Amino acid sequence: MAQKPSIPKGTRDFSPAEVAKRNYIFGKIKSQFKNFGFQPIETPSFENSDTLMGKYGEEGDRLIFKILNSGDFLKKADEKLLQEKDSLKITSSISEKALRYDLTVPFARYVVQHQNEIDFPFKRYQIQPVWRADRPQKGRFREFFQCDADVVGSKSLWQEVEFVQLYDAVFDSLGLKGVTIKLNNRKVLSGFAEVIGEQDKLIDFTVALDKLDKIGEEGVKKEMREKGIAEIALEKIQPIFNLQGDFGQKIQGIKDILATSEIGKAGIAELEFIEKAIAAIPLKSAKLELDVTLARGLNYYTGAIFEVAAPEGVKMGSIGGGGRYDDLTGIFGLKDMSGVGISFGLDRIYLVLEELGLFPETVTENTRVLFINFGEEEALYALKVISELRRNKIVAELYPDAAKMNKQMKYADKREIPFVVLAGGEEMQQEKFTLKNMKTGEQYTISATELMEKIS
RNA sequence: GUGGUUGUAGCUCAGCUGGUUAGAGCGCCGGAUUGUGGUUCCGGAGGUCGCCGGUUCGAAACCGGUCUUCCACCCCA
């Protein structure tokens, strides 16, 4: 056998069954997006490098796939950097395009570029693949789909409320009950940093805090100390390690800590607004939870931060995330354009639905009826009815070769086609068809009209 | 990017401290059954053991490199 071909690390092929299941999820998400009034846009797979570089932090730049310039790219490369073999610096002189890393930054670019054609507030959704040069793990790929819904041009907190409802609506329609929508607010995190006098270490502080559920209280404190956060500061924020109870009780717990912080109090007010609205219009099956350790997400979040966790017992990273960013388009020169949005991780949702057996059986059903091929005349006889069936939206097909019956039947069985029609010389004379139900084994010889009724 | 792990038939895997022609189950193909699949029985095909190099009289096994898989870190959907 020749050397088997392969695909790059972290990419996947999808079989017909997998595509059917993925389309099922896409369909549910898309239909809720539309239901909430979002409109679709699409952007190119690759952008100019300077649109993407520097927008995701140092770590992000490393994970962006760069596209080599076409032609003799070494000729135009910086001679000195080439000599020095400085990969980091040479990149910009041999690559000026890169694959998109997420959908949010390209969206910001889109908004700025088309600002005069857009009616604000602009609600858009976008379902496209993104690429990251990450090391693959379970539920982590180098090519994967994001399903984003964002609103730009409104600071209203009702948007946040709607996004919580949107998450709930999507997961409910997928039959995925018991997901937890975790909510936090950047202003609360800033408040913590302010109260302990470590504003300049906000990022280090939040990154460490975010790991609470993973490395525990002591682990977090250890990391904070390593980052130079004072012992007395740790004492001050001690209560956030002991928060318990429901949303309201947790809010009470942080109110005391943030009493002296204006920004912290603003954050609390936002959280309370959202909670109150959701309490008034209950969610169908998701839980809304305050999680002050939630700091995930990109540096540009300024208000609400969302993350969705799979139901308890399912080992999977977050299946969605999002937040408010007051100045995303600022980096492209458009000021005062607040945005808020959420993202669904299609590939991870797929894995969760698969694990819990939540895909409806009908998702993968393809052909409804297969006609056995007995020869030229019989095939023509069959094809006439097949055309009629297709006009009635019944998926029907003829086995292409007059192969042995055994082979044709096996084929139908393997593909789990529920009905088979046998029409040979005898049936042709009577202008009838023998219909076999593959599940029960029953079969009848009936007319074309009856056939249509039986299998529709 | 750092550390670890995995790779043997189409699939899931066995293969002892290195020892002749590398096995199983499932699947595939053919037959029993030329108008009846899913069960059964009989027969058959299919592998330069991920790839490259090294050690050895001898390598699927040991060593190095590389690619791939999964895991932890980093980060994240």
Length A33 CA → B35 C1' (Å): 52
Length A9 CA → B58 C1' (Å): 36
Please indicate, yes or no, if residue A1 is contained in any of the structural domains. Answer: no
pLDDT of residue A1: 38
Same-domain status, A186 and A299: yes
pLDDT of residue A357: 84
Same-domain status, A402 and A340: no
Return the CATH number at A116: 3.30.930.10
Please indicate, yes or no, if residue A3 is contained in any of the structural domains. Answer: no
- With CA of A378 and C1' of each nucleotide, the nearest comes out as B35
Q: Show which of A306, A328, A356 is a domain's final residue.
A: A356
Burial A411-426 (b: 16+ CB within 10 A, else e): ebeeeebbbbbbbbee
Which one-letter DSSP state was computed for residue A303? S
Length A8 CA → B48 C1' (Å): 25
Same-domain status, A152 and A270: yes
* Max avg pLDDT among A290-299, A307-316, A367-376: A367-376
Q: Where does the pLDDT of residue A313 fall: very low under 50, low under 70, confident under 90, or very high at 90 and above?
A: confident
Same-domain status, A201 and A220: yes
Same-domain status, A400 and A350: no
Domain span at residue A210 reads: 16-356
Average per-residue pLDDT for chain A: 90
Q: Show which of A328, A356, A384 is a domain's final residue.
A: A356
- With CA of A429 and C1' of each nucleotide, the nearest comes out as B35
CB count, 10 Å around CB of A135? Answer: 10
Which one-letter DSSP state was computed for residue A189? H
Residues A77, A78, A83, A84, CA torsion sign: negative
Length A2 CA → B55 C1' (Å): 29
Q: Show which of A331, A356, A381 is a domain's final residue.
A: A356
pLDDT at residue A2 greater than cutoff 70: no
Please indicate, yes or no, if residue A442 is contained in any of the structural domains. Answer: yes
pLDDT of residue A92: 80
pLDDT of residue A307: 93
Length A356 CA → B70 C1' (Å): 21
Please indicate, yes or no, if residue A10 is contained in any of the structural domains. Answer: no
Percent of chain A predicted with pLDDT > 90: 57
Please indicate, yes or no, if residue A137 is contained in any of the structural domains. Answer: yes
Which residues does residue A370 pair with via DSSP β-bridges, in sequence order? A397, A420
Does A441 contact strand B, using a CB cutoff of 7 Å? yes
Length A153 CA → B48 C1' (Å): 64
Q: Can you tell me which residue has its alpha carbon closest to the C1' of nucleotide B73?
A: A135
Does A66 contact strand B, using a CB cutoff of 7 Å? no
Same-domain status, A305 and A397: no
The strand pair at A122-131 and A39-40 is best described as parallel
Question: In whole angstroms, what is the distance from residue A266 CA to residue A319 CA?
Answer: 28
pLDDT of residue A182: 93
Same-domain status, A43 and A190: yes
pLDDT at residue A74 greater than cutoff 80: no
What's the number of domains chain A is made of? 2
Q: Where does the pLDDT of residue A8 fall: very low under 50, low under 70, confident under 90, or very high at 90 and above?
A: confident
Q: Where does the pLDDT of residue A16 fall: very low under 50, low under 70, confident under 90, or very high at 90 and above?
A: confident
Question: In whole angstroms, what is the distance from residue A13 CA to residue A1 CA?
Answer: 21
Same-domain status, A191 and A326: yes
Please indicate, yes or no, if residue A6 is contained in any of the structural domains. Answer: no
Same-domain status, A71 and A217: yes
Return the CATH number at A440: 3.40.50.800
For A221-237, how does the pLDDT look when each residue is reduced to its tens digit (9 = 90+)? Answer: 888 888 888 888 888 88
Does A341 contact strand B, using a CB cutoff of 7 Å? no
Residues 159-198 of A with CB under 7 A from strand B: none
**Binding positions of A for L-histidine:** 102-104, 132, 146, 150, 296, 300-301
Same-domain status, A388 and A330: no
